[in-house]
């Protein structure tokens, strides 16, 4: 896509003359898209005309999101699997290309928390966080290299999901914070190495977004890791889940919703940000400014 084409795309969309969407005909892989922010990303990408690859460790959820997108008039397929499985990235990429013929966008969203105070974190807790937030995205991007590293003029981008924990650290999350800081370094390196092929790579660092990772730990949400249930959420110290106002230092005074923050991911993949790469976009409601 030439600079003129990109400008015309932007102008057309802003003037209401681009009914097929900003990502019409482009192919997007979104990991962890069976629920939460990933699901919202899959839905908004589809509404903007993208062919979406939904992938999640929970096959039933992955299949359902793809089915819902298709029922709504979009185009999606489900390729469920575990991003921690070393063989999965290659399968994910090759099945995507088999179905749609190309890849334009990768959103490395899959992840979870495995909290503990620094002096109590086990090697397993440490290793799993780096595996899911660093190694898995690396393997997926590497598997897609032969399709993305082409000077073909396509709109191509990678968005890696980080967190304000990775930018500022967080009590009880030494492992998660380290991993989320690491993905920023990977992002900048991809931007520098693949920019010559027209591939943009950016990071979104989310603050307090209403998902199972930020709701009260007492609610009982878990994820299974190697046959062991890992509790998700933030402990409140009581069964009712009541806690001091967690939004007191957020200028907007509330948590973000999955649907609204998905827009930040979408934006970084569209021609609207065609000259943005290597950037970390903080999506926090103003927290930390």
Q: Could you give the residue numbers annotated as active site?
A: 176
Relative to beta strand 228-231, strand 222-225 is antiparallel
> Residue 104's Cα: distance from chain center in Å?
15
Nearest-CA neighbor of 233 among 207, 204, 211, 261? 211
Q: Is 165 exposed, middle or buried (0-12, 13-18, 19+ CB in 10 A)?
A: buried
Q: CA-CA distance, 155 to 31, in Å (whole number)?
A: 19
H or E stretch at 105: strand 105-108
Residue found under tokens 């397993």: 124
> What is the token pair recorded at 267?
């934006």
Residue 234 φ/ψ, nearest 5 degrees: -110, 125
**Residue for token pair 């046959």:** 227
């Amino acid at each position: 896509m030439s600079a003129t084409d990109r400008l015309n795309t932007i102008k057309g969309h802003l003037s209401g003359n681009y009914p097929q969407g900003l990502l019409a005909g482009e192919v997007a892989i979104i990991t962890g898209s069976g629920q939460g922010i990933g699901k919202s990303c899959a839905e908004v990408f589809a509404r903007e005309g993208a062919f979406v690859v939904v992938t999640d460790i929970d096959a039933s959820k992955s299949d359902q999101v793809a089915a819902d997108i298709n029922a709504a008039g979009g185009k999606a397929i489900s390729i469920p699997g575990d991003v921690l499985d070393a063989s999965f990235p290659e399968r994910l990429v090759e099945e995507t290309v088999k179905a749609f013929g190309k890849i334009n966008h990768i959103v490395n969203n899959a992840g979870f928390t495995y909290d503990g105070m620094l002096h109590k974190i086990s090697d397993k807790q440490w290793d799993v966080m780096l595996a899911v937030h660093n190694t898995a995205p690396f393997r997926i991007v590497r598997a897609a290299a032969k399709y993305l590293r082409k000077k073909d003029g396509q709109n191509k981008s990678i968005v890696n999901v980080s967190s304000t924990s990775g930018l500022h650290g967080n009590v009880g999350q030494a492992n998660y914070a380290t991993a989320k800081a690491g993905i920023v370094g990977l992002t900048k390196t991809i931007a520098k190495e693949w920019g010559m092929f027209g591939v943009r790579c950016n990071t979104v660092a989310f603050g307090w977004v209403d998902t199972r990772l930020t709701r009260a730990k007492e609610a009982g949400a878990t994820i299974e890791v190697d046959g062991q249930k890992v509790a998700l959420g933030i402990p409140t110290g009581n069964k009712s889940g009541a806690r001091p106002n967690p939004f007191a230092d957020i200028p907007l005074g509330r948590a973000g919703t999955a649907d609204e923050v998905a827009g930040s991911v979408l934006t970084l993949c569209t021609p609207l940000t065609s000259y943005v790469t290597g950037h970390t976009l903080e999506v926090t409601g103003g927290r930390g400014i």
